Amino acid sequence: MDLSNPDFKEVCKEVIAELSNSYGFVPLADFEHEIGKILTEGYQYNRLLLHVLKNNIKVIKNIQHNNDELSKQQREYSKLVVEPTIELETFEKDIKSSKLNKTNNSIVDKIVSFRNSDDLGEYLEENNSLIDEKTLKLAILKLKIEINEYYKLKKEVTTEEDLDIINLDIDELKDKIEVLHYFIDIINGKTDISESDKPINDIFFFESSALNPLILNDLKDMDRNYLKRVKGLIDSLIYDKPKCIKKFVHNSNISNIYEVRDISGKVRVTFVYITPNKLMLLSAFKKKNNGVVGYEMANLSEINKKYLANLSTIKEDINNESSDYYIRNQKNLLELNNILDVGKKRG
């Protein structure tokens, strides 16, 4: 340890590196023993001690922060483990007082048994007259209990592959819960867009190399019976009221892309957030009856490559009302309105 170096900062670094423990903390007894032997001048000693104390305070704060973060995670986990059981007990008291009949109980079991959110949404849509809010809430609680069990299981798995499978199962259960919440909102009229609602987000179109908006091409080829659903989805984005929305987090090629879908899961619109209030529509499609969407995913991957490659230009164009792209976008919005029979211009 060379304390003769005229660069005081370097001296401090050397002292801390030499005397600190595995956490980066310098025990003051060690400092006094080692440095006191070398530095006899009080000013030099005190100056160096002050720097070491500042280092130790920083280390303590980092440890406290990490402990706080760990405690926060533990609290969140504890909440997840305990909360569903508490909710279920509370709700069961409601059930006893209001008497869910056997039909409702069988519907709850049916809802919970669906393997994916798309089949669940289709069932809810087809049987809406049989389903009330209380039934849906009980189904949500049972699904939370199931998620709870998966979280417990995560602590026991030993391979990355098993962990991935569990995470996918948890995501699917969360998707089902989201569909149930969406249906509750439908029952309560919360998905409707009223005259008092104001547009929140601006819509832009991703174009092909021939400057054709891809989503408009998709809509022109879509069965007109499904266009009303697409209109509802796009309106939900414009007015910032999307419900069944998810990000493709498990596919690295399209992990920045979102999908919003109708309650049945049949019709979907994909988009990206250019900024928090500016969305770029990419595609619209009807899910195949066999559930295979591989073609659409491959398509999205190619679209996303082009989107990311041109992102800087896109950002410039959407903020420049005199750019050729911006002018085309206004015309494309009118065409979208015509296709979907939307009465209100948005741009």
pLDDT tens profile 230-284: 998 998 899 887 777 888 877 888 889 999 888 777 788 999 999 989 999 999 9
CATH of domain 202-340: 3.30.2310.20
Q: What share of the chain is helix, strand, coil (3-state, %, to 5)?
A: 65, 10, 30
Confidence class for position 149, pLDDT limits 50, 70, 90: confident
pLDDT at 7: 64
pLDDT at 48: 67
1-24 mean pLDDT: 64
Token pair recorded at residue 5: 């170096």
Confidence class for position 170, pLDDT limits 50, 70, 90: confident
291-298 mean pLDDT: 56
35-59 mean pLDDT: 62
Of 102-106, 172-176, 309-313, which range is least confident?
102-106
130-150 mean pLDDT: 85
CA distance 235 to 263: 15
pTM reported for the whole predicted model: 0.56
DSSP 189-256: TTTPPPTT-----EEEE-B-TTS-BHHHHHHHTS-GGGHHHHHHHHHHHHTT---SEEE-TT-TTSTT
For residues 240 and 317, the model is more confident at 317
pLDDT at 33: 60
pLDDT at 273: 94
For residues 68 and 325, the model is more confident at 325
* pLDDT exceeds 80 at position 145: yes
For the chain, what are the domain ranges?
A: 1-83, 100-187, 202-340
CA distance 331 to 323: 13
Phi-psi region of 183 (alpha: psi -120 to 50; beta: other; left: phi over 0): alpha
**In terms of DSSP H, where are the helices of 99-159?**
102-113, 117-126, 133-154
